[in-house]
Structure 1
Amino acid sequence: MASLYFTYSAMNAGKSTSLLQVAHNYEERQQHVLLMTPALDDRAGKGRIASRLGIGRDAVSFTHRTDLAAVVRARYMQQAIDCVLIDEAQFLSEEQVWQLSSLADTDNIPVMCYGIRTDAFGNAFPGSAVLLAIADKLVEMKTICHCGRKATMSLRVDEQGNAIRMGQQIAIGGNDRYVSCCRKHWKEAMGLR
């Protein structure tokens, strides 16, 4: 039976790089993968997954309204799919996570999701919360804070590097907008005890 995986971390731990490596590994064995990414994350271009290392691949883009199971099943009719890889999984809706679980449970297609757990204000993203609750396998990728501790939080910063303490849950950005840090230093930057 196939599984639903959630690989999570703070920003800048190498999740997209890992996803692209997994795709390469499947394809080296003449297996077919379907890469998917949210349309709202267009940093590398719409429908493209890219890592900070400079590697990237085209992917199927989706919105929060897309029925992911229907998309995968339609593509499966054209060509067998051995694995579905989802980048920026925090942007999945709760319903989409359940759709992906159906692909693993009913269609026997492994689904590997990569994303962050919490937003810049310490709140769980809806997609991540459901993945943490129902994924068969959870994998934490690690990155480090400036102090050397494990970074578990993503701090949103302005152009001067100052913490942004309130705002929208979703603000697309990379190293220019986010800094990975441990909870202690995130709390200090956010003015929390």
Structure 2
Amino acid sequence: MITFTTGLMGAGKSKELIERYRNDKSTRATLTASLTENTGTEGKIESRNGEVIPALNIHKDQLEATLGLIMYLIFEFKVTTLYIDEIQFLDKETIKEILDYARYQDVTIHFYGLETTFTSDYFESSKYLLEELSEDEIFKISRECEIEDCNNTAQYNARIVNGRVTREGNTFVEEKSTYLSLCKKHYFSKKLEISS
């Protein structure tokens, strides 16, 4: 079985992963994609409610090491279920290789991650899963717009710079950025100002 759970920032993807992992009785392991940490190093999956579980990091540019780690978990530890968080940090090729290998080994994988960038473009890994998997394998978690008194459904991960939504810049940045989940009206509003 393969699943992909997606939603905007703060929608509860990591919370869902942690709950599902804790209730899973199979031999399981957790991985989290990283922009900076090497594959195989110790990391964690943390939800906004403070829940944390340990995970092994997989680096976006270390495909061979990532596949080697997955093979090691399957053959040495008899893992039958993998939970992989932050898949938006991986490229399409990595996701494809993991998917192909999991299907060949009959391993269950639960992918979790963002669908779109702050510019509303698809992350290539997420786009690949949305096209590759069937509707009943994809789970979308919705949330409300974060602007006070707005009850609209949020549709965009908005990057906030100097109190305003920005739709320009690099997708992946080293510095800590501020993000909000916004509805269409507020994402495109020229009047919106966010106080920090």
Please report the TM-score for the alignment, with normalisation by the length of structure 1. Answer: 0.84
Q: Give the AA of the match of 1:144.
A: E
The code of the aligned residue for 1:141 comes to I
Structure 1 residue 59 corresponds to structure 2 residue 48? no
Q: What's the C-alpha RMSD, in Å, of the aligned pairs? A: 2.4
Q: Separation in 2 of the partners of 1:79 and 1:118?
A: 34
Post-superposition Cα deviations, 1:53-105, rounded to whole Å, max 9, x if no partner, equal 11111111011233333321112121111211111111111111112211332
How far apart in 1 are the matches of 2:2 and 2:99?
6
Within-5 A mapping of 1:1-193: 3-26=1-24, 29=25, 31-40=26-35, 47-67=43-63, 68-136=66-134, 137-145=137-145, 146=147, 147-158=150-161, 160-171=162-173, 177-188=178-189
CA–CA separation in structure 1 for the residues paired with 2:155 and 2:98? 25
Query: Greater strand percent: which structure?
Result: 2
Distance 1:46 1:153, change over 3 A: farther
Residues 126-172 of structure 1 show CA distances to partners (whole Å, capped at 9, x for unaligned) of 111111111241110011113211112100012x5321231111236
The question of whether the paired residues in 2 share the 8 Å contact of 1:10 and 1:143 is answered with yes
Shift of 1:124: 0.8
Unaligned runs of 5+ in 1: none
Q: Tell me, yes or no, if the aligned pair for 1:156 and 1:177 is still in contact at 8 Å.
A: yes
- State the alpha-carbon separation in 2 of the partners of residues 22 and 71 from structure 1: 22
Unpaired stretches in structure 2, ≥5 consecutive residues = none
3-state SS of 1:106 partner: helix
Tell me the number of residue pairs that the alignment of Structure 1 and Structure 2 aligns.
182
CA distance in 1, matches of 2:132, 2:73: 25
Cα 1:172–1:152 change in 2 (3 A) is: farther
Q: Deviations 1:9-45 (Å, cap 9, x if unpaired)? A: 111001011111111011xx3x221111122277xx9
User: Which runs of at least 4 in structure 1 moved beyond 4 Å after TM superposition?
Assistant: none
Distance 1:33 1:64, change over 3 A: same
Aligned residues: percent identity? 24
